[in-house]
C-alpha cells in the first residue's frame, strides 16, 4: 500500500510539473520574448546543467554507461516540435493533438506488450478522453497542416521517450545524460535558424525555469513514477495535464475559469481514477 501511495504521489508531482512547464512555454512563445529554437536550446542546456549538478552531489563521479542517443533524439524532437507547433496552433488545438498522439503511441505499445484493459478501465479511458475533447473542442477548426504535423510529432516523441524511461536503471543519471546529449542537437538547430533568433531577459528566464525546474526535475520524477505504471495507465494519467494547466492559467494568468472547464476537469480526473483503480491484464 505504501508503494502504491508513493507512485500516486510521484505521478501527481510529475503532472503538476508538466502543467507548469506548459504555462512557461506558452508565456514565452506566444509573446515575442524569444524564438522557438533559442527557447529549446536554453531549456535543454539549463536542464542539463542542473541535473548534472544533482548527479554529482548525490553520487559523486558518474559511472560510464552506454549512450542512449535514441532517447536524446526523442527529447530533442519533442522540445523542437512542441515549440514550433505553438507558433501556429491555439493552445486547445495543440493540447488535443499532442495528447492524442501520446495516447496512440503509449497505448499501442502497451497492447503490443500484451496489456489489456478491463471494462471499467476502458470506461475510465473513454470518460477521460471525452472530457479532454469537451474541454478543447469549442471553436475548434481545422488546424494548419504544418503545425498539426509538428505537434503530432511532439506527442509521438514524448510517448517514445516516456516508454524508454521505464527501462532506466538510474532515472536521474539517465535524464541528465539525455539532456546533455540533446543540447548539441538544439544548438545545431539554433545555428541553422540564427537569422530569426531573438531573446529578451524575460524569455531567457522563462526558458531556464522550464529547463531546470519543470522539465529536468519533472522528468526525473516522471521516470520514477513510470516504474510503477503500465503503459496504458501512464498514457491515461497524462490527460490530467491540460486541465491542470488551464486551472493554472486561470489562477496565475487571469484566464477565464468557466463551468465547462470545471466539468471537463472532473470528467478527466474521474476517468483517470477509474483507470488507476483497475488492474491491467496480460
Q: What is the pLDDT of residues 86-107, one digit of tens each?
A: 777 766 667 767 777 777 787 7
Q: Is the pTM of this model over 0.75?
A: yes
Q: Which helix (H) or strand (E) holds 60?
A: none
Q: What is the pLDDT of residues 7-21, one digit of tens each?
A: 889 999 999 898 888
Task: List the grid coordinates of 253.
Answer: 494568468
Residue 141 has pLDDT above 50, yes or no: no
Higher pLDDT pick, 138 / 116 = 116
Higher pLDDT pick, 192 / 68 = 192
Predicted confidence band of residue 182 (pLDDT cuts 50, 70, 90): very high
The string of DSSP codes covering 212-267 is IIIIIIHHHHHHHHHTTS-HHHHHHHGGGHHHHHHHHHHHHS-----HHHHHHHHH
Q: Counting beta carbons within 10 angstroms of the beta carbon of residue 58, is it exposed (0 to 12), middle (13 to 18) or buried (19 or more)?
A: exposed
Q: What is the pLDDT of residues 193-240, one digit of tens each?
A: 998 899 999 999 999 999 998 888 887 788 788 778 876 677 778 778
Q: What percent of the chain has pLDDT over 90?
A: 24
pLDDT of residue 77: 96
Amino acid at each position: 500500500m505504501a508503494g502504491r501511495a508513493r507512485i500516486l504521489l510521484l505521478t501527481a508531482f510529475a503532472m503538476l510539473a508538466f502543467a507548469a512547464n506548459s504555462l512557461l512555454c506558452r508565456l514565452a512563445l506566444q509573446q515575442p520574448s524569444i524564438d522557438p529554437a533559442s527557447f529549446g536550446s536554453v531549456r535543454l542546456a539549463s536542464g542539463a546543467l542542473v541535473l548534472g549538478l544533482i548527479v554529482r552531489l548525490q553520487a559523486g563521479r558518474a559511472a560510464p554507461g552506454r549512450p542512449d542517443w535514441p532517447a536524446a533524439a526523442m527529447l530533442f524532437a519533442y522540445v523542437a516540435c512542441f515549440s514550433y507547433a505553438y507558433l501556429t496552433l491555439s493552445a486547445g488545438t495543440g493540447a488535443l493533438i499532442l495528447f492524442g498522439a501520446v495516447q496512440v503511441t503509449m497505448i499501442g505499445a502497451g497492447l503490443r506488450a500484451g496489456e489489456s484493459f478491463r471494462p471499467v478501465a476502458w470506461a475510465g479511458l473513454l470518460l477521460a478522453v471525452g472530457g479532454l475533447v469537451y474541454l478543447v473542442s469549442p471553436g475548434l477548426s481545422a488546424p494548419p497542416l504544418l503545425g498539426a504535423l509538428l505537434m503530432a510529432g511532439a506527442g509521438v516523441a514524448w510517448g517514445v521517450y516516456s516508454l524508454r524511461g521505464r527501462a532506466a536503471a538510474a532515472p536521474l543519471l539517465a535524464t541528465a545524460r539525455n539532456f546533455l546529449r540533446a543540447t548539441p542537437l538544439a544548438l545545431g538547430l539554433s545555428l541553422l535558424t540564427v537569422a530569426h533568433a531573438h531573446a529578451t531577459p524575460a524569455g531567457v528566464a522563462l526558458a531556464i525555469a522550464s529547463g531546470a525546474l519543470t522539465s529536468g526535475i519533472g522528468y526525473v520524477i516522471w521516470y520514477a513514477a513510470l516504474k510503477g505504471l503500465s503503459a496504458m495507465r501512464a498514457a491515461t494519467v497524462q490527460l490530467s495535464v491540460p486541465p491542470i494547466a488551464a486551472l493554472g492559467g486561470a489562477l496565475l494568468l487571469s484566464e477565464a475559469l468557466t463551468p465547462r472547464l470545471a466539468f471537463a476537469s472532473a470528467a478527466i480526473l474521474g476517468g483517470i481514477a477509474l483507470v488507476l483503480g483497475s488492474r491491467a491484464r496480460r
